[in-house]
Structure 1
């Protein structure tokens, strides 16, 4: 499974460190909450080419991560779509087609 691979675990740690182990959604609202999850802004299932691209990855606390996905349909919520739109220019700047 991808989420148990050495490559993912290393990348996850790199992203958490980059984001100073803080939830980036909470940080937008002036809160300081520990990040426990690294989220794929462009979902892994639909965009496997971005699975290890740092610009596509963002650190969230569990509560914020849960607000990014509709767990029934497994689609992005409005909040998840906002993060996807937020990282798209970063991916485009790196030469990725989004």
Structure 2
């Protein structure tokens, strides 16, 4: 289970800078607004399908010297970004249980 501290942690101020916003836009354009992991899997996920995020391949906290390096940045859909960072929760995508025909027959007195 993910701790609340991890999910409520404040964003790094770096991501609010003008320089990062410009670099983020450059990377989205370079990657044609497509998730690069989806693309590696033979799928196409664009900004019209999901929210796209620009990911540091080598983490910012580990390699701040690569924060603005194009070769260390990639566009990922929210799903793949969350999977990469261990924030993917299986229970969010649970299919709904079908209603049993027996329940419907009992309800209507058939």
Q: Same fold (TM over 0.5)?
A: yes
Greater Rg over alpha carbons, structure: 2
Residues 1-41 of structure 1: CA distance to partner in whole angstroms, max 9, x if unpaired? Answer: 11010000000000000000000000011111025100001
Gapped regions of structure 1 (runs ≥ 5): 72-98
Counterpart secondary structure, 1:70: coil
Q: 1:31 aligns with which of 43, 50, 68?
A: 43
Larger proportion of helix: 1
Counterpart secondary structure, 2:54: strand
Q: TM-score, normalised by structure 2?
A: 0.62
Q: TM-score, normalised by structure 1?
A: 0.69
Q: 1:59 aligns with which of 68, 71, 75?
A: 75
C-alpha RMSD over aligned residues: 1.0
Distance 2:58 2:15 in 1: 16
1:94 match:
none
Distance 2:61 2:29 in 1: 25
Number of residue-to-residue matches in the alignment: 71
Structure 1 residue ranges, 4+ long, deviating more than 4 angstroms after superposition: none
Counterpart secondary structure, 1:9: helix
Tell me whether 1:21 sits opposite 2:37 in the alignment.
no
Alignment map for 1:50-89 (pairs within 5 Å): 50-71=66-87
Gapped regions of structure 2 (runs ≥ 5): 1-12, 88-110
